[in-house]
């Protein structure tokens, strides 16, 4: 476009020079000179306007190309990220399912162990308290010869034994509940 404008300018200059030579021969040089200068000025102005238009067109087309390129790159990156996400999900989902299954099995085993431990502790507690109660009753039988007094003391000792057994069982139960909760939280955190 600029080459065409330069060619047009050069041809107008040559044409103006020829007309000036003809006008010099005819005697109206000043008038032809002013006309040539006016033609060159108008041509220069039209060239400047065309250059501005071409510059604006170029700028607009460059901006348009930049925008299209940016949008194409954004679309490409989105597709790439989506594909990577799908691939990662395909690879990680089986591993995650296997880990969840293993954690569930581990939790079930620990819960069984805790239940067995709780049962064993309760049996041991019951046996030890029954043995302690029998020993205390034997001691009472040695010191009391009156049957009514002995029966009354036995009832008191049995009542005391029951209260103590209830307290001990509650302690063991609370201890086991705490273990169950800690076990469950530990598995949930993993």
Task: Give residue-wise pLDDT tens across range 31-75.
Answer: 777 777 787 788 777 777 777 766 667 777 778 888 999 999 999
Q: Is the pLDDT of residue 190 over 60?
A: no
Neighbours of 36 (CB within 10 A): 19
How far apart (Å, rounded) are the C-alpha atoms in residues 35 and 151?
A: 147
Q: CA angle, 8 as apex, 7 and 10 as ends, to 5°? A: 65
The 10 Å CB-count burial string (b at 16+, else e) for 54-83 is eeeeeeeeeeeeeeeeeeeeeeeeeeeeee
Residue-level pLDDT at 10 = 75
Q: Could you give the C-alpha distances from 116 to 91, 100, 124, 125, 146, in angstroms and in order?
A: 39, 24, 12, 14, 45
Residue with tokens 């108008």: 42
- Of the candidates 124, 119, 125, the residue with the CA atom closest to the CA atom of residue 166: 125
Give the confidence band of 145 by pLDDT, cuts at 50, 70, 90: confident
Predicted TM-score of the model (pTM): 0.42
Give the confidence band of 187 by pLDDT, cuts at 50, 70, 90: very low
How far apart (Å, rounded) are the C-alpha atoms in residues 118 and 114?
A: 6
- Of the candidates 169, 190, 182, the residue with the CA atom closest to the CA atom of residue 110: 182
Residue with tokens 């009156």: 146
pLDDT in tens, 68-117: 999 999 999 999 999 999 998 898 899 999 999 999 999 889 888 888 88
User: What mean pLDDT is predicted for residues 138-152?
Assistant: 79
Query: In a 3-state reduction of DSSP, which class is residue 1?
Result: coil
Q: Is the pLDDT of residue 127 over 70?
A: yes
């Amino acid at each position: 476009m600029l080459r065409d404008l330069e060619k047009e300018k050069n041809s107008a200059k040559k044409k103006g020079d020829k007309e000036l030579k003809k006008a010099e021969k005819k005697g109206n040089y000043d008038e032809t000179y002013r006309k040539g200068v006016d033609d060159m000025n108008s041509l220069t102005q039209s060239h400047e306007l065309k250059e501005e238009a071409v510059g604006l067109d170029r700028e607009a087309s460059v901006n348009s190309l930049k925008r299209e390129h940016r949008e194409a790159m954004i679309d490409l990156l989105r597709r790439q990220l989506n594909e990577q996400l799908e691939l990662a999900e395909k690879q990680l989902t089986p591993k995650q399912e296997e880990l969840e299954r293993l954690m569930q099995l581990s939790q079930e085993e620990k819960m069984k162990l805790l239940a067995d431990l709780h049962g064993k502790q309760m049996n041991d507690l019951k046996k030890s308290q029954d043995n302690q109660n029998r020993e205390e009753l034997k001691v009472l039988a040695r010191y009391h010869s009156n049957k009514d007094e002995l029966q009354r003391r036995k009832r008191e000792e049995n009542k005391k034994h029951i209260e103590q057994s209830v307290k001990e069982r509650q302690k063991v139960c609370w201890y086991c509940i705490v273990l169950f909760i800690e076990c469950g939280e530990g598995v949930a955190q993993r």
